[in-house]
Amino acid sequence: MFLGSVIYDKRRSLNLTQGELANDICNQNTISKIEKHDMTPHIDVLIKICNRLDLSLNDIFSDFSGDTKKEKAFVLDAIEEEVLLNNISETAEKLSLVEANLNSKDMAQFYFIEGLLNFWQGNLERSSFNLDKVLQKTKLDNYNIYTLLSYLVKAMIYLEQKHGDMAAYYAKTISDELSENLNVENSRGIEILFLCKTLGAIYINLNENDLAIETSKRGVEYANSKHLSYFIDDLNYNIALAIKESNGTDKEFEKYKNIAYYTAVSQENSKLQLRIENDNVK
């Protein structure tokens, strides 16, 4: 279980008030609730508290024993979500706090997070190395979400290296697995939508525009059915670009371009807004 008492004891040992611990992190009432076990804080808040108190996440999660699966999932899932969204400024620091005492299942997720982080950082060799470790843990089980996500990032790596044939191979492997439905065992919505968004972009790069449209539309339908908003702007922009590249109608192109642009505005995705503007498709 989450040990708010550990935070309380360490704060007192350092002669800090709740207000002093909360300074620039959260409010004093949040610290009070944490210490009384009334709440588990968001991962960003938790990381900052640990750093200020010189604690690890192991210290406050009962040594990550078998009774703390929920807490482990909370921490790793939160870090993974940030990396999927390419918010990576503190990822390495957060991973260092959770690495110890993870089981084999957790390590597959851990290595995937590291592999995607490496990719965003431009370290393709290290990324591929960590993705291979994921596949060792999942034993190439295509029903495991981390197998499919690792194939996806490998396709991204091969595109960066101008090996379109290998990128196409991994893209087809993923598409074949998702051909019937998007319900993958042990997956979360953000992971499925990341697959659809990124796979659609890969198909555009491979000039497989019909597949890009199909994959991205399936992502939009999935998001709507699950009431999720992750990557909706990117998915619609994929559709717009693929329609444009395949000489589709101007009306259809404008429809998806506008959805992408104004969804990006509403989600404060300034990077995509600028991309649309700079591509002269606004």
Predicted confidence at residue 102, as pLDDT, reads: 74
Tell me which residue has tokens 């439905």.
Answer: 181
Question: What is the rounded CA–CA span in Å between residue 32 and residue 64?
Answer: 23
Would you say the pTM of this structure is higher than 0.75? yes
Same fold, 103-177 and 188-282: yes
Predicted confidence at residue 101, as pLDDT, reads: 62
Does residue 68 have a pLDDT over 60? no
Contact of 265 with 244, CB cutoff 8 Å: no
More confident residue, 204 or 184: 204
Predicted confidence at residue 64, as pLDDT, reads: 43
pLDDT per position as a tens digit, 36-65: 777 767 777 888 888 888 887 667 765 444
CA of 78: how far to CAs of 33, 72, 73, 94, in Å?
A: 21, 10, 8, 10
Does residue 224 have a pLDDT over 90? yes
**Crossing angle (nearest 10°) for helices 91-98 and 104-120:** 160
Does residue 110 have a pLDDT over 50? yes
Reduce the secondary structure of the chain to three states and give it as a string. Answer: CCCHHHHHHHHHHCCCCHHHHHCCCCCHHHHHHHHCCCCCCCHHHHHHHHHHHCCCHHHHCHHHCHHHHHHHHHHHHHHHHHHHCCCCCCHHHHHHHHCCCCCHHHHHHHHHHHHHHHHHCCCHHHHHHHHHHHHHHHCCCCCCHHHHHHHHHHHHHHHHCCCHHHHHHHHHHHHHHCCCCCCCCCCCHHHHHHHHHHHHHHHHHCCCHHHHHHHHHHHHHHHHHHCCCCCHHHHHHHHHHHHHHCCCCHHHHHHHHHHHHHHHHHCCCHHHHHHHHHCCCC
Does residue 3 have a pLDDT over 50? yes
Mean pLDDT taken over the chain: 88
The neighbour count for residue 171, using CB atoms within 10 Å, is 28
Section 187-194 average pLDDT: 95
Report the CATH fold assignment for 103-177.
1.25.40
Does residue 256 have a pLDDT over 90? yes
Predicted confidence at residue 70, as pLDDT, reads: 55
Domain 1-99 listed as CATH 1.10.3720.10: no
Q: Which two tokens stand for residue 66?
A: 């078998």
Section 129-152 average pLDDT: 94
CATH superfamily for 188-282 is Tetratricopeptide repeat domain (1.25.40.10)
How is the chain split into domains, by residue range?
Answer: 1-99, 103-177, 188-282
Q: How confident is the model at residue 130 (pLDDT cuts 50, 70, 90)?
A: very high
Q: How confident is the model at residue 279 (pLDDT cuts 50, 70, 90)?
A: confident
Percent of the chain clearing pLDDT 70 (strictly above): 91
Does residue 67 have a pLDDT over 60? no
Backbone angles phi, psi at 80, to 5 degrees: -60, -40
What's the CA dihedral at 145, 150, 156, 161 to 10 degrees?
-160
CA of 106: how far to CAs of 86, 101, 119, 178, in Å?
A: 21, 9, 20, 23
